């Protein structure tokens, strides 16, 4: 279905039934339902598409449809189109069951078969597990017991698994092994919504489609790389989850490793799934392991105290509802990583992420070495322009190149300048949620944007020494930083040893 004012996608997905477990939750309300609506407006979904919401609440079809309409009004970012909303609502039904009820899953299988089309043949099925991690294995087992995990010759079955994928190396490996007892690897789609952003997908395109830039991607010209994913918000009612996760588990082995692999991997033979995954995993394999005794020299953590983010007063993390008053959970983490390969040897990669910071920013800054000669001695080294290519993903998506230019006047004065490119709105205008492309690709059977089991496990291996070193211990308090600041002072020291400074969260 194409709605006026929206550009069509090149390929429409196959007729299928999308089933969302946890449809009444925050993820579905804020992101998944608006993303599905955006796919409707882009003309990507066929008339035979059906949406089944599974939950434990005592709802019916009308309740879910009203929930869908309210979610679009509240979280879409623009006014929903009545025609598109009605089209989706008419194809949406609710199914109530607990996640341990085999009878409930058997009834779900029968409902999906009935919804799957006018013919009696096999039905294409996509299951989205938007649930807490402890329910993933249970749901997959019940899908198998009710006959929903098996693929037929003429229909496919796929399962999208939300992060976190475990909480350490052992649990991530165990989860993957458990899933593979029931599903084949090509049926499992481990989602990382960061990969759905246009700016993230463009990283490899920018590098490998432009002869102008790829020759610069080398240790002889690049001084350092900074990857930042900062947020102004705190835990926002997710304290129960965050207390068991923290910034390190929540962001580093998945989102930040994904960004680092794209910016630093070697050129693939093609953009096929196999070649891209091979080079991303190869990059993580090249990251130098942090030894337990070296953790303090390569990583810093912190926890926010009371402060102001903009004009809003923010309580200390330990004063948030649901947080232990002696909590040692980190809300900020910064790392210095080194890559032992021919391209990057000697170039530090600095990663940081945190909550309640001065600004919400997601970016990669590639900083080049300074010019070898001081031709303009009247320019102080501290104020000399720094050459950088900055890949911006939040709050806007674009690419910026910074360089020095001559200031107008009678003297040779150099001032910093830049050239900027901003991604156009695309088919979803300003309403894109980042889940549109992954959802569509899962329906099309294209796993390119979904990390492999090996990639996820390798990401956990890289941070396992930090998890072990930072395990709660008596007598050691976590470093602090004021809400609304740049982060803990210790993070600046981490860079100072190498003569670098963090980019300001302006």
Residues designated catalytic: 255
Whether the Cβ atoms of residue 313 and residue 319 lie closer than 8 Å to each other: no
The DSSP 8-state label assigned to residue 360 in this structure reads -
H helix count then E strand count, the chain: 15, 17
The answer to whether 277 and 266 are in contact (CB under 8 A) is no
DSSP string, 135-199: GHHHHHHHHHHTT-S--BTTB-EEEEEPSP--SSHHHHHHHHHHHHHHS-GGGEEE--GGGGSHH
Q: Which residue has the tokens 């090996």?
A: 454
The rounded distance, in Å, linking the Cα atoms of 264 and 447 is: 21
Cis peptide before 406 (omega within 30 of 0): no
Residue 233 CA from chain centroid, whole number: 16
> What is d(CA 113, CA 121) in angstroms, rounded to the nearest whole number?
9
Q: What are phi and psi of 406, to 5 degrees?
A: -80, 130
Distance from chain centroid for Cα 250: 10
């Amino acid at each position: 279905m194409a709605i006026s004012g929206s550009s069509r996608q090149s390929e429409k997905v196959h007729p299928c039934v999308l089933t969302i477990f946890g449809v009444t939750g925050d993820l579905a309300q804020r992101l998944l339902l608006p993303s599905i609506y955006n796919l409707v407006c882009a003309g990507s979904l066929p008339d035979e598409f059906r949406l089944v919401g599974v939950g434990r609440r005592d709802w019916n079809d009308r309740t879910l449809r009203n929930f869908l309409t309210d979610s679009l009004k509240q979280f879409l970012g623009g006014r929903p189109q009545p025609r598109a909303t009605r089209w989706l609502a008419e194809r949406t039904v609710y199914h109530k069951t607990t996640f341990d009820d085999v009878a409930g899953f058997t009834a779900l299988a029968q409902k999906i078969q009935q919804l799957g089309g006018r013919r009696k043949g096999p039905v294409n099925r996509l299951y989205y597990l938007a649930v807490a991690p402890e329910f993933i294995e249970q749901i997959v087992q019940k899908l198998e017991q009710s006959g929903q995990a098996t693929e037929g010759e003429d229909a496919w079955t796929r399962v999208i698994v939300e992060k976190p994928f475990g909480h350490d190396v052992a649990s991530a490996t165990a989860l993957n092994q458990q899933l593979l007892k029931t599903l084949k690897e090509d049926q499992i789609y481990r989602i990382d919504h960061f990969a759905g952003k246009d700016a993230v997908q463009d990283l490899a395109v920018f590098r490998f489609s432009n002869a102008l830039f790829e020759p610069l991607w080398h240790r002889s010209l690049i001084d350092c790389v900074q990857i930042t994913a900062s947020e102004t918000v705190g835990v926002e009612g997710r304290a129960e989850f965050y207390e068991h996760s923290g910034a390190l588990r929540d962001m580093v082995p998945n989102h930040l490793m994904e960004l680092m692999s794209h910016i630093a991997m070697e050129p693939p033979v093609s953009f096929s799934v196999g070649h891209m995954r091979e080079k991303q995993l190869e990059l993580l394999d090249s990251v130098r392991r942090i030894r337990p005794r070296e953790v303090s020299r390569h990583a810093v953590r912190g926890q926010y105290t009371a402060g102001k983010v903009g004009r809003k007063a923010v309580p200390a993390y330990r004063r948030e509802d649901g947080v232990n008053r002696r909590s040692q959970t980190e809300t900020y983490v910064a790392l210095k990583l080194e890559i032992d390969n021919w391209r990057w040897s000697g170039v530090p990669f600095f990663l940081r992420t945190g909550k309640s910071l001065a600004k919400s920013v997601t970016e990669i800054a590639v900083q080049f070495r300074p010019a070898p000669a001081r031709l303009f001695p009247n320019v102080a080294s501290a104020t000399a322009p720094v050459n950088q290519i900055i890949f911006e993903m939040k709050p806007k998506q674009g690419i910026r190149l910074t360089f020095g230019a001559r200031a107008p006047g009678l003297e040779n004065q150099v001032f910093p300048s830049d050239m900027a490119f901003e991604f156009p709105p695309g088919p979803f205008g300003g309403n894109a949620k980042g889940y549109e492309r992954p959802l569509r690709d899962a329906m099309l059977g294209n796993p390119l944007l979904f990390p492999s089991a090996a990639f996820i496990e390798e990401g956990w291996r890289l941070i396992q020494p930090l998890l072990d070193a930072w395990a709660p211990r008596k007598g050691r308090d976590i470093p602090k930083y004021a809400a609304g600041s740049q982060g803990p002072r210790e993070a600046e020291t981490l860079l100072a040893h190498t003569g670098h400074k963090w980019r300001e969260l302006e």
